[in-house]
Amino acid sequence: MGQGQNRTGSFGKTVSIESQLGFFGAAMRTRLNRWQQIGIVLSVLAFIGLGAYAWVFEARHRDKVYSTQLSMCDGTLRTQNEALQGIGDQEDRAKREAVNQSEYEECKNEAGATSRDLFNTSLQRMPIFLAKVLGLIVLAWLIEWFVVEIARWIKRSSQRSRRGRI
């Protein structure tokens, strides 16, 4: 039978071949028990949740650094302009205020550049973080599998020992 052809399945129902074939043509129908389904859902939620948490945490850190730098720029401008109040010559004061304002704009630009650099660094580190989260999830599944296998082994051993006593 070629691809796309139908055949009669059990109980006389017509079933397409594609629905029965999985990866490389092998039957890939695997039944998961309830705990495995819950585990998969929790794993996906953990992956998405930890990724989102990390992104929000990094964003808050960037915002805090940026706002701190801006407040330092504001404080410097305010202090420099207050120091100019003692200058009697209006023209000299205006020149110095213009210099202070240009230094303030430069300070704001540096704060913006630092914020962009932090964003790019966060963006570059995110795949590494997500790979670590995925590794932790795989490790958790392996530990769970190991614990379940030990429990099954103990159960089989106890059943054999009970049969041996009878």
- The domain limits of the chain are 1-30, 33-144
pLDDT tens digit string along 60-78? 999 999 999 999 999 999 9
CB 134 within 8 A of CB 48: no
User: Amino acid letter at 149?
Assistant: E
Token reading at 64: 């805090």
pLDDT tens by residue, 91-146: 888 888 899 999 999 999 999 999 999 999 988 998 999 999 999 999 999 999 99
Residues in a beta bridge with 8: 14
How confident is the model over 32-48, as pLDDT tens digits?
A: 788 888 888 999 999 99
Give yes or no for a contact between 93 and 84, defined as CB atoms under 8 angstroms apart. yes
Residue 166 — very low, low, confident or very high, per pLDDT cuts 50/70/90? low
Residue 30, class by beta-carbon neighbours within 10 Å (0-12 exposed, 13-18 middle, 19+ buried)? exposed
AA letter at 112 = G
- Read off the pTM: 0.59
Q: How far is CA 101 from CA 16, 74, 79, 90, 160, in A?
A: 75, 10, 12, 16, 86
Tell me what pLDDT residue 165 has.
Answer: 67
